[in-house]
């Protein structure tokens, strides 16, 4: 079976977005990272920054209270759809729709957003998880222009949000090591990670290829 889609799941700060772009460029495939956020925003008729701030996260407590209030009152039930609340459930449904469409189109590298879980049973999908030591993640974020305290805070919290998101919507632990074909430490270098992924894809395709018929 030929691989037609690669999902890149990742720890925050591991450099997976850069690695995914390099991989997509090498393969000549479409990169679904910021593009996925933009397409969700179009469908939700909102600004991309609103989607980016809520992807792979549970709704904040005040937002859950607001939804419960609106849906629990008569007037609220009449107006909740008119308000077009951008909640986690809405983003989940739109993401599922777009990830499946991208996979059906093929030649796609999809970053995070639960894509590996949505496409778990596709034989033409290759799933990668990228991680890194804590110090490496913080240093990478600081090199990218982030303040040290903010970098440390986000490394400590973003992956917890992602784990809660996966548990709620897929009832699985994150990362689910049985799901990924390859898990790799980005400390080895971005180019080395890309080469490892390409090698992993080739090996996976060889293993999935039907055995040749024996000559009679």
Task: Walk me through the domains of the chain, giving residue ranges and CATH numbers.
Answer: 5-208 (3.40.50.300)
Are residues 132 and 15 in contact, defined by beta-carbon separation less than 8 angstroms?
A: yes
CA pair distance 126, 120, nearest whole angstrom: 9
Contacts of 13 (CB under 8 A, 6+ apart): 132, 136, 137, 138, 140, 141, 151, 154, 155
Per-residue DSSP letter, 186: G
Q: What is the dihedral of CA 188, 190, 194, 197, to 10 degrees?
A: 50
Q: How many helices (H) and strands (E) does the chain have?
A: 10, 5
User: How many residues are there in the chain?
Assistant: 216
More confident: 9 or 59: 9
Please report which confidence band the pLDDT of residue 203 belongs to, taking 50, 70 and 90 as the band edges: very high
- Residue 117 · residue 129 · CB < 8 Å: no
From residue 93, give the alpha-carbon distance in Å to each of 70, 115, 140: 20, 12, 32
**3-state class of 22 per DSSP?**
helix
pLDDT value at 183 more than 50 = yes
pLDDT at 78 > cutoff 90 = no
pLDDT of residue 176: 93
């Amino acid at each position: 079976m030929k691989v037609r889609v690669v999902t890149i799941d990742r720890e925050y700060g591991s450099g997976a977005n850069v690695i995914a772009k390099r991989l997509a460029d090498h393969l000549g495939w479409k990169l679904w990272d910021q593009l996925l956020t933009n397409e969700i925003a179009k469908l939700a008729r909102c600004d991309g920054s609103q989607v980016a701030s809520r992807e792979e996260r549970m709704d904040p407590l005040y937002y859950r209270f607001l939804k419960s209030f609106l849906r629990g009152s008569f007037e609220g039930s009449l107006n909740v759809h008119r308000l077009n609340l951008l909640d986690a459930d809405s983003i989940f449904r739109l993401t599922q729709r777009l990830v499946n469409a991208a996979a059906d189109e093929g030649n796609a590298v999809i970053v995070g957003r639960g894509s590996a879980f949505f496409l778990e049973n596709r034989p033409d999908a290759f799933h990668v998880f990228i991680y890194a030591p804590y110090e490496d993640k913080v240093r990478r974020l600081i090199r990218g222009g982030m303040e040290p305290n903010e970098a440390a805070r986000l490394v400590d919290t973003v992956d917890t949000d992602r784990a809660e998101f996966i548990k709620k919507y897929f009832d699985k632990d994150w990362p689910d090591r049985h799901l990924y074909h390859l898990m790799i430490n980005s400390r080895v270098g971005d180019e080395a990670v890309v080469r490892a992924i390409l090698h992993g894809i080739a090996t996976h395709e060889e293993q999935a290829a039907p055995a040749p018929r024996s000559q009679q």
